[in-house]
């Protein structure tokens, strides 16, 4: 056991976490979940995670700490997912996306005939969203809410907000128009915020 | 006059493109009078922030506790 640790020593010892099976197992599971959500294909997700991990391991020594490594490995994974999504366009799997006509839905339950919030649907103030980030419970709710979105909406939302692709790129990949994209993102956000509010931020009895 | 449904549409599109001056003014006017939509506006910011955090792998369930791995200035 090394007792006095210098800065570079510390850097080395902290990347020992990569040889820590508990850390790697948890990280892997989390990456798989993330990739599967977006690719909706377990095999592709598995491959992407594997490649990202191997890629990140090559530079493992340059990371000070598990958190830095994790950020890096997720950045690689996001790129891989972006690549796969782009390839799908070439394979014209995108047409499959087009045919998922689950988008037709009305928002009568959210808005009244004049387009105003139904009284029990009016968004409430969220207390401390930053605080929520620190609890695992919250992220489980977050994932559950993503799972509840219609799959096309979820995919477009994740391309936009997780992979951070811009609108023209998403439209090209998914084979949809900008206005379709905007409609889908709007719906996804309406649903997500409603779900998060009901399941987390304002759970229990609502005021007014 | 903008209703809440259209206001939420603009608040979503605001994350995708710059609103026109007219849209921005209409929206601001609506937000001054509508607490539900004001909350919605704040939540759109939170949603984006939460998504970015999640996509960095910081958040998912089963994550090991954060271990402030800031560079020690090497």
Among A61, A109, A117, most B C-beta atoms within 10 A, so best to mutate, is A117
Give the highest mean pLDDT range of A101-105, B7-11, B64-68: B7-11
The answer to pTM > 0.80 is: no
Q: How far is CA A29 from CA A40, A88, A199, B61, in A?
A: 15, 24, 24, 9
Nearest CA-CA distance, residue A184 and chain B, Å: 10
- Across the interface, of A124, A140, A186, the residue whose CB is closest to B8 is A186
**Structure confidence at residue B47 as a pLDDT band (50, 70, 90):** very high
**How many angstroms separate the CA atoms of B7 and A152, rounded?**
23
The yes-or-no verdict on residue B65 having pLDDT over 90 is no
What pLDDT, on the 0 to 100 scale, is given for residue A95?
A: 54
- Residues paired with residue A117 on neighbouring β-strands, in sequence order: A111
What pLDDT, on the 0 to 100 scale, is given for residue A17?
A: 62
What pLDDT, on the 0 to 100 scale, is given for residue B55?
A: 87
The series of mean pLDDT values per 10 residues for chain A, 208 residues long, is 42 56 86 86 91 84 77 88 79 52 64 92 91 88 90 89 89 88 95 94 59
Higher model confidence: residue B39 or residue A201?
B39
């Amino acid at each position: 056991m090394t007792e006095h640790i210098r800065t570079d020593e510390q850097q080395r010892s902290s990347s020992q976490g990569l040889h820590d099976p508990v850390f790697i197992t948890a990280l892997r599971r989390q990456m798989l979940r993330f990739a599967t959500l977006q690719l909706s294909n377990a095999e592709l997700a598995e491959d992407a995670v594997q490649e990202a991990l191997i890629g990140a391991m090559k530079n493992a020594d340059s990371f000070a700490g598990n958190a830095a490594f994790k950020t890096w490995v997720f950045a690689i994974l996001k790129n891989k997912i972006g690549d796969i999504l782009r390839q799908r366009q070439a394979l014209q799997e995108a047409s499959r996306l087009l045919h998922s006509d689950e988008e037709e839905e009305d928002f009568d339950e959210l808005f009244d005939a004049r387009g105003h919030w139904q009284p029990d649907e009016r968004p409430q103030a969220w207390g401390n969203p930053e605080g929520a980030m620190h609890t695992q419970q919250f992220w489980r709710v977050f994932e559950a809410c993503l799972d509840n979105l219609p799959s096309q909406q979820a995919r477009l939302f994740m391309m936009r907000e997780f992979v951070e692709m811009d609108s023209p790129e998403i439209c090209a990949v998914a084979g949809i128009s900008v206005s379709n994209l905007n409609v889908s993102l709007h719906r996804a956000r309406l649903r997500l915020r409603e779900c998060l509010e009901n399941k987390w931020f304002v759970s229990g009895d609502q005021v007014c | 006059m903008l209703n809440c449904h259209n206001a939420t549409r603009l608040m979503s599109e605001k994350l995708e493109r710059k609103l026109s001056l007219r849209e921005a003014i209409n929206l601001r006017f609506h937000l001054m009078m509508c607490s539900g939509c004001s909350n919605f506006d704040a939540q759109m910011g939170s949603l984006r922030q939460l998504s970015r955090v999640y996509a960095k792998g910081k958040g998912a369930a089963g994550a090991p506790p954060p271990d402030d791995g800031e560079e020690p200035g090497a």
